Amino acid sequence: MDTLVSMKVFRHVVEVGSFVGAAERMEMSAAMASKHVMHLEQQLGARLLNRTTRRVAPTEAGREYYERLSQVLTELEEAEQVVGAASVVPQGRLRVSSLSAFGLSHVMAAVADYAAQYPQVTVDITLSDRVVELIDEGFDVAIRASPGGMKSSSLIARQIATAHLVLCASPAYLRRHGAPKTIAELANHNYLQYAGVSALELATGDASPRVRLSGNLIVNHLEAQRVIVLQGAGIAMLGTEVIGDDLAAGRLVPLLVDDVPPRELPINVVYASRRHLSAKVRSFVDFLAERFANESLWPSLEQIKALAVR
């Protein structure tokens, strides 16, 4: 028999003074209620109730057990209520990991609005370009750019926006070094590499070998890479979630969009499972999806091509 049910039956028997009354509370027969108490007595090796034809009363051991058991069951029921409420009402600490540049330019404003709408949720957000391990590192949600799609089948990804990877440079750099007209000419330019990403190799489309882009600067932060490109240090491949405003304002210029077409870059919000999803995670994911679905974040592919150097 279920010992926890037996404990609850015993508490009710003591409180109402009868098996019939306890059985009504537990929605079972009086005979079944009696069996539950007998099961508990066998488990404990002690008599808990004195039974007469007119009333049921706890023994000394039963009274002591009832006092301790009642407190434990009350705390358990309160815990169940808290957990149940958390699955309905967004509350508690929500740990979020977000891309750094995208986080600064877009996510932080969204988080401020979310926090205002759901004051019972404490949003603990970390900005980083590192791919965190959601479960191992204790994050509830991560916002990621996934050019190759999601690699882990254990995670659920919901796309909230689309950016594009664009080869670009500043007008100042292009004035000093000239704009490359072909992929082959990229070999003569300073390519600013992102740490941990393989050097970019591009096919020229003819019998010539592939062009391997290289340069004298490597950084491990997308916003830092953006800054040095804006300073005219070289050419880089960056996503429009980082440089969209710079392209629109003319601070950066797309290059070779016909030979090196901008590559689609999905922006996903990632979480561990659809099953038993807490209200705080569900509400945050839905909030971001609605927020970015109704907002134009970056130049479109057509606009990028229109801005490119010819």
* pLDDT at residue 310, as a whole number: 63
Task: In whole angstroms, give the CA distance from residue 86 to residue 11.
Answer: 28
For 103-126, write each residue's pLDDT tens digit. Answer: 888 899 999 999 999 999 999 999
Helices 30-44, 3-16: inter-axial angle, 10-degree rounding = 110
* pLDDT at residue 274, as a whole number: 60
Q: Which residues pair with 58 in a beta bridge?
A: 49
Task: In whole angstroms, give the CA distance from residue 69 to residue 10.
Answer: 9
* pLDDT at residue 151, as a whole number: 57
134 vs 117, which has greater pLDDT?
117
89 vs 157, which has greater pLDDT?
157
Which segment of 39-53, 79-93, 134-148 scores lowest on mean pLDDT?
79-93
Mean pLDDT of 177-190: 91
| 8 Å CB contact between 279 and 88 | yes
Mean pLDDT of 225-249: 92
* pLDDT at residue 178, as a whole number: 94
pTM of the complete model beyond 0.85: no
For 52-72, write each residue's pLDDT tens digit. Answer: 767 788 888 888 888 888 888
* Residues whose CB falls within 8 Å of the CB of residue 279, separated by 6 or more in sequence, listed in order: 86, 87, 88, 89, 90, 91
Res. 150 pLDDT band, cuts 50 70 90: low
- Domains of the chain from N-terminus onward: 3-86 (1.10.10.10), 92-161+266-293 (3.40.190.10), 164-264+299-307 (3.40.190.10)
Res. 43 pLDDT band, cuts 50 70 90: confident
Cα–Cα distances (Å) from 295 to 101, 106, 142, 234, 291, in that order, read 18, 11, 20, 31, 7
* pLDDT at residue 206, as a whole number: 62
For 258-301, write each residue's pLDDT tens digit. Answer: 888 888 888 899 998 665 678 889 899 999 999 888 555 567 77
